[in-house]
């Protein structure tokens, strides 16, 4: 898969997407990187740790988060994309469901769209992805938790997102799926999804797993503080790779990079 000017061989190794939340209220690192100086510093740290893609988000998606208007999200995201682009050619992903934000981000140096609503909140974002011919990550999400069979229902939901993308000119090879761990799912649902990631892989697209420091890990380990959930995150990274996930989206780049490398070494041995 080509992202920016870099070709990633998804069969060769796991691609590490590093989280850079430029928000005051994200559940784990809100307020840490919402200045240009701090954001660039953190981006360079992640590059040093071996990150492959930096995912920049200007609106928290934690439960109960406050929605952010278009102009405010642009003011948070665009200057930081520009600043990182001045110091590195690392591929940049924009974490947004707003088409206008995605478009401005691409114009200013982003090269991947990561939409937590899978193109269902604002269909213009699908037009943007098709127009600029960039990869996009379509995450599973919905307004309720009323599932008949969670995995089968997720597959139906994700297929609707894929259909929106294709209808708007997105190439199949530019689509990545995200099972949306922690979104419209109970604690038990998240565990079931983790156990059945191969069924999402069977849809025929690369899969990105985003579990980093999430509350289901905190509940399983009885750990309140998100930053203390690194070991639990690493276990999900291992299970994701063993299930065929090509991307992992994480806060703790070094720990998860090493976890991925060790997992791959074992899986590839003869």
Return the active site residues.
214, 249
CA gap 105, 95 in Å, rounded: 10
Segments of the chain assigned E as strands: 2-3, 6-7, 15-21, 53-57, 92-95, 112-115, 136-139, 175-178, 208-209, 247-250
**DSSP-derived secondary structure for 123-149:** THHHHHHHHHT--EEEE---S----SS
CA gap 209, 182 in Å, rounded: 11
**DSSP-derived secondary structure for 44-107:** HHHHHHT-SEEEEESS--STTPPP--HHHHHHHHHHHHHHHHHH----EEEE-S-HHHHHHHHH
């Amino acid at each position: 898969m080509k992202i920016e000017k870099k070709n990633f061989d998804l069969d060769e190794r796991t691609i590490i997407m590093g989280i850079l939340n430029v928000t005051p209220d994200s559940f784990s690192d809100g307020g840490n990187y919402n200045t240009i100086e701090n954001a660039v510093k953190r981006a360079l740290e992640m590059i040093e740790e071996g990150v492959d893609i930096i995912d920049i988000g200007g609106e928290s998606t934690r439960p109960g988060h406050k929605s952010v208007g278009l102009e405010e999200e642009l003011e948070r995201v665009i200057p930081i994309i520009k600043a990182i682009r001045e110091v590195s050619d690392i591929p940049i992903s924009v974490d947004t469901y707003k088409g206008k934000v995605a478009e401005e981000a691409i114009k200013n140096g982003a090269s991947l769209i990561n939409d937590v609503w899978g193109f269902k909140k604002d269909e213009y974002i699908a037009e943007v992805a098709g127009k600029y011919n960039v990869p996009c990550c379509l995450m599973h999400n919905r307004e309720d938790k009323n599932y008949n069979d969670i995995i089968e229902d997720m597959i139906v939901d994700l297929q609707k997102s894929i259909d929106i993308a294709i209808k708007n000119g997105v190439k199949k090879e530019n689509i990545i799926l995200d099972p949306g761990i922690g979104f419209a799912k109970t604690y038990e649902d998240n565990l079931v999804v983790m156990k059945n990631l191969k069924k999402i892989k069977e849809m025929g697209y690369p899969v990105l797993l985003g579990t980093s420091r999430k509350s289901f890990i905190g509940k399983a380990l009885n750990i309140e503080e998100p930053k203390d959930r690194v070991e639990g995150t690493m276990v999900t990274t291992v299970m994701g790779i063993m299930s065929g996930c090509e991307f992992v989206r994480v806060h703790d780049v070094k720990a998860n990079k090493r976890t991925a490398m060790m997992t791959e070494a074992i899986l590839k041995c003869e």
